[in-house]
Structure 1
């Protein structure tokens, strides 16, 4: 008896959520997959296991067809549209936000994409061949915005990437000492945001922080831990920046939906 490899499939409620977004990005003259839901479940299977696309179980359809549809959705901005809709839904409070970054190692097979490794978010850091994920989360510890850069990139640059103008503005932003910069503090002052950031030891003029509030920064670290349960996020296998960021967004979206369903 053949055992199915498909588990953790979408519920009907989850599919109903995704379907309305998928129908808006479908190319009118493209070949329509026989089953959008099955294709999306195949994408989720890859996002969870980190397996090569060629190892996708046949029950999801031909692997090359699922991969091509994944790339179409990715390049059409589907995952970003969904993340924007979740951020704008008002389902979670955004008054308190946390920012942080983490470095993930890139598999050697991830190298070799067109335009060179720097443009694809690869670099050299303490972890050798790496990519850095910059993450902004809300008060519920859910991802709001993720960006990726080369592994050696400063957190200062990551701050500018994730603090987008179209996101809800927080009342307070929590971050570690890596974000203690005059430019960041001035940027927060202009937005009327309280920066809860410990100062570097080299600072002569000291500004205290609310330690009780600062303890909540662990929410962003816990969010990284949840994201890295998805193997393509914990280790980068993708050659292109679009595909790697897509898997981070897909994992983020599913975290949102599981939170909202509880």
Structure 2
């Protein structure tokens, strides 16, 4: 496996505490299986195309699906991001993620919504995120593609870290959002919309730092199964995003 990806033992020690306990027969090596999951997601492979050195592809796929339903990867990301400390500055933004035809089914066939919507660009999902001043994601939310930025911000507001300053583009220029930030004692650096009668001044030099959250989205989209959504179930797709975010920024 010299040419294949393999998590280091240090990385495994940081995340293995969040794995479910094995009951009965010992399960296949966690390090090898999780590394295989990362390899498939990053390279945009079908599960059946996983290199044979990782083991049976059904084992890899079943482990990913089972742990996704349990929220294992979501917990890993949340725990690692929490250990990053209290940020002085946060940024908020959202990006669209194209849904492949294999995933683009608007029909609800289960208990949970698929988080796929229709926009001018076709069927897609939308990833909302809050990151720290270094461009590392802290809070993420997956919604339908047509959901507005400020509605996503409202959903993430209770989980938003208590920072001193928030950077955002003019899509978040809403009085209620500014008031909510002020109530949490967070200063807003948000440009005013063109239709605002009285423009609210902002620090233009500081606002230039907002490119870091755009860079964060770009790094996530370097993973091919993140850039294009192939998963029908929202929980499996969001698990893939959490795996990518944890490995890129926190491990």
Do the structures match in fold with TM over 0.5?
yes
CA separation in 2, counterparts of 1:131 and 1:5?
A: 36
2-structure distance, mates of 1:32, 1:154: 46
In structure 1, what is the equivalent of residue 185 of structure 2? 192
Contact 1:106-1:129 within 8 A present in 2 as well? yes
Name the counterpart of 1:226: 219
Q: Give, in whole Å, the separation in 1 of the partners of 2:155 and 2:226.
A: 19
| Aligned-residue offset at 1:20 | 2.0
| Counterpart position of 1:12 | 9
Q: Which residue of 1 aligns with 2:202?
A: 209
Separation in 2 of the partners of 1:6 and 1:62?
18
Flag structure 2 segments of 5+ consecutive residues without an equivalent: none
1:120 counterpart (100, 111, 114): 114
Paired position in structure 2 for 1:55: 49
Q: How does 1:76-87 map to 2 (within 5 A)?
A: 76-87=70-81
CA contact (8 A) 2:164 2:185 kept: yes
Residues in 2 aligned to 1:255 and 1:32: alpha-carbon distance in whole angstroms: 29
Runs (5+) with no aligned partner, structure 1: none
Match in the other structure for 2:36: 42
- Cα contact 1:177–1:200 (8 A) shared by 2: yes
Moved over 6 A (4+): none
Which residue of the partner structure matches residue 243 of structure 2?
250
- Following superposition, the deviation at residue 97 of structure 1 comes to 0.5
How many residues align structurally? 250
* Corresponding residue number in structure 2 for 1:144: 138
Counterpart position of 2:96: 103
2:127 corresponds to which residue?
A: 133
RMSD (Å) for aligned C-alpha atoms:
2.1
